[in-house]
Structure formats: C-alpha cells, structure tokens
Copies of this chain bind each other. A is one copy, B any other.
Amino acid sequence: MAVTILKGTIVSAPTLGQVDIVEHGYLVAEDGVITGVFSSLPERYASADVEDWGEALILQSFADLHLHAPQYPMLGTGMDLPLLDWLNTYTFPLEARFADTDYAREVYRALAKELISLGTTRVCMFSSLHTDATLILMEELEKAGVTGYVGKVNMDRNAAPGVLEETTEESISETLRWLEACGDFKYIKPMLTPRFIPSCTDEVMAFLGKLAAERGLPIQSHLSENDKEIEWVRELHPDCTQYWETYAKFGLWNDRTVMAHCVWSDERERAAMRDAGVTVVHCADSNVNVCSGTAPIRTMLNEGLKVALGSDIAGGDHLNMFDVVTSSIRASKIRYMEGGKQTPFLTVPEGWYLATSAGAAFFGETPGFAPGNPLHAIVLADDALPPLPAVSRFERCIYRRQKNAVRAVWSAGRKVYAAE
C-alpha cells in the first residue's frame, strides 16, 4: 500500500462559506485515497515518508466544469466583437483547424500542461466535432494528469457551412465511433455534448438522449446564456415553454447533466434544475466579456441548486481558476450593487468552495479533503509575500500570488506536477 503524506498549512472547504485550516498539519492518502487531515501524524503512519512543505498552503485543486479546448489558441482575442461575429470570425474557423490531428496534438498538449500547472485537475470539457482530435485531447489530458469528462461536440445544423459542419448521419456515426474508441482511458471519460439547442436537430438530440439512458453517460451543454439565443430556441421548439425543456424532452436532463451559464434562468427554470439535480456552471468572465449578463448565483445557492464554476475559455479569458474565483466574486458584487445591496455577494471562502468542493461533487466527491476522496491537491508557496496569519494568506492567495506560486499538484492520487 502506497502512503502519501503532505505536511503544511492544510486548507479545505468542507461546506459553503467555511474554510478549515490546520497549520503544520498532515494530509494523508493511502493508495491515492484520502484518509484524513491530522494536526499530528497518527501512529500508524510513523514510518511513512512525509513530504514536508513547511509553511506552504496545501489546498484542494480546482474543478473547471466548462471550457472549450479548441478555443485555447484564441484566448484573449476578439473580445470587442458581439457573440455571433465572434463565433463566425474567430471560433468556427479555429475549431475547423482541428480536422488536422497534428495541430490538435500540439494545442491540446499545451492546454493539458497549462491546466495542470495551474492546479486544475478535474474538467468537463468541450472538444470540437472532430472524433480523432477529441481522442487526442483525451489522450493528452490523461497523460498530463487531468481527470474528468470530455465531449465530442454534436452540431448538425446551423453550423458554419463549408467551414465547420457535420451531417446528422455523421454526427451520429462519429459519436458512436468516438465512444467505441475511448474505452481505454482511465481518468478521462466521455460526456455527451450537444453544442447547444440551435446546433442540434431533433434527431441527434433523440439519439443522444437514448445513448445517455442506455449507457449512463453524463451530459453537458449550454443553457439560457443570452436573450437572442433564448429567443432562437423558443422559435425552434415552440412546444417548449422554456429552454430547459428542450433538453428534458429528449432525456438530457438529470443529475449527471451540467449546464453552462444559466444567466437568464428564472424561478421556474431554476426549480427544474434543482429538482432534476442538474449542475449549473457559472462562467462569470465569459458572461461579462460577451455581454450576456450576470447569473443569479446567490439566489441559486439559496434555492438549493448545485453550482460550480467554469473558465469557459475562450469566451472567458482566464484559464487560471484562481482568477475565475475572483471574477465570480466580482460578478456577485455587481448583482449585489444592482439589487440595492440586498442579496449578499459571494465571500472569498464561498467562491473558493464553488471552484473546488462544489465542482468535485459532480465527480462523486465529498466536500473538502474528506476521507474517501481521491487525493486532488495543490501546494502553493507565498513565502516571498509579506507574512500574514494563515486565514489571510488563504484569502490573499485567491487574489494574489507570488511568481510560480503553484509548487506541486496531485491528481487522483498521483503527483502530476512539480514546479522547476
């Protein structure tokens, strides 16, 4: 049995808004599974090696529940364009390049490495419509040490003709070919990924719903991101009162579903999410960058919805989840101000919880460094910054980090990154 023992300032988020800190504490895993956080090392581990990180912070690693892998090369570009122009000018032509598997290999290898170096060890990720590139993405993520789900995108209507499109037949047959081929991955699993309602025919949606049921596959897509999209969906599905019903009617609405954005989800749509156990993925940067709005996250939390965070690159411009946390806090402060300072904004511990424990919950984990969870952790140095009490160091590390702060990363029990 392999024992991992990390010593340092152990910080975890066991419930929304709470931060547990054990200074000079021990985070212990057996065969990659956490057995506990201890203030003194239990006798049974007395002979095991201790990786001593001194005063450094040892934190839960991040879960990024919504991002578009093929948009990685365009991060930070096109930010002045409206959504549709942005898609047509930048996104679709770029995604089309992933027909080239060499290009895919190069980009996805860089993305996987950067994710790990930033402490993101769990993802729900969109690929493009390309089966081979999707398999390459899964391979590179697995190699780098990222865990989670990846989806070959289905988009058999309203795509970019001559640039990026698939027929309904291709969409179906390629999805099957992809699922066939990704049986060998251990840490990266397939996730059904209709791009969004306007991109998918009823036939493909029905096919995906059937697959989800038959194979117990998880599902990711977009929901109620902006007003024009919502209007479009209403025109496409006049039988549905609300956007979410267009997923539900095809069997794509359950507790293994993650829906990005949900900026404009009203009380009824939110209730539908809560009742089905759907996870909302809040993408604050993207929602501001492309002028979609600010999602009612506090209200969702109060109503008992599951909410996690996503970088949503390249609508979002931050791959670093530390920055995604602060953006989420800022977005909540905007809503706080707009609403006459009635609904409280997200606190730092709450933002942190959403980016770690809440996202990890989608992968079956218990909040915090709970016994039974696979070991997902990062070591963060801040010794070049002014000394502060541990709780202030935790707060500060969200907003500000010294150069090369992430010193080491563990993912599903394995040490997958060590800074030079």
Contacts and interface: CB of A to CB of B under 8 A. Distances in A.
Interface of A: 73-80, 107, 285, 288-289, 291, 293-294, 317, 326, 329-330, 333-334, 336-338, 341, 345, 347-348, 386, 388, 392, 395-400
For A107, A289, A337, the residue with the greatest tally of chain B CB atoms inside 10 Å of its CB is: A337
B338 A338 contact: yes
A226 to B, nearest CB: 10
Contacts of A392: 77-78
A330 B76 contact: no
Q: How many copies does the complex hold?
A: 2
For A336, A338, A397, the residue with the greatest tally of chain B CB atoms inside 10 Å of its CB is: A338
A53 to B, nearest CB: 21
A317 B347 contact: no
A13 to B, nearest CB: 15
24 contacts: A73-B386, A75-B396, A75-B399, A75-B400, A76-B398, A77-B392, A77-B396, A77-B399, A78-B395, A79-B348, A79-B395, A80-B395, A107-B386, A285-B330, A288-B330, A288-B334, A289-B330, A289-B333, A291-B336, A291-B341, A291-B345, A294-B334, A317-B326, A317-B400
Contacts of A337: 291, 293
Closest 10 CB pairs of A and B: A76-B399, A76-B400, A73-B386, A76-B396, A317-B399, A80-B347, A77-B392, A288-B330, A77-B396, A75-B400
Nearest to A316: B399
Given A317-B400, A348-B80, A288 B75 contact: no
B399 A79 contact: yes
A111 to B, nearest CB: 11
Given A76-B400, A289-B333, A317-B400, 8 more contacts: A75-B399, A76-B395, A76-B399, A77-B396, A78-B395, A79-B395, A317-B399, A334-B334
Contacts of A341: 291
Contacts of A291: 333, 336-337, 341, 345
Contacts of A398: 76
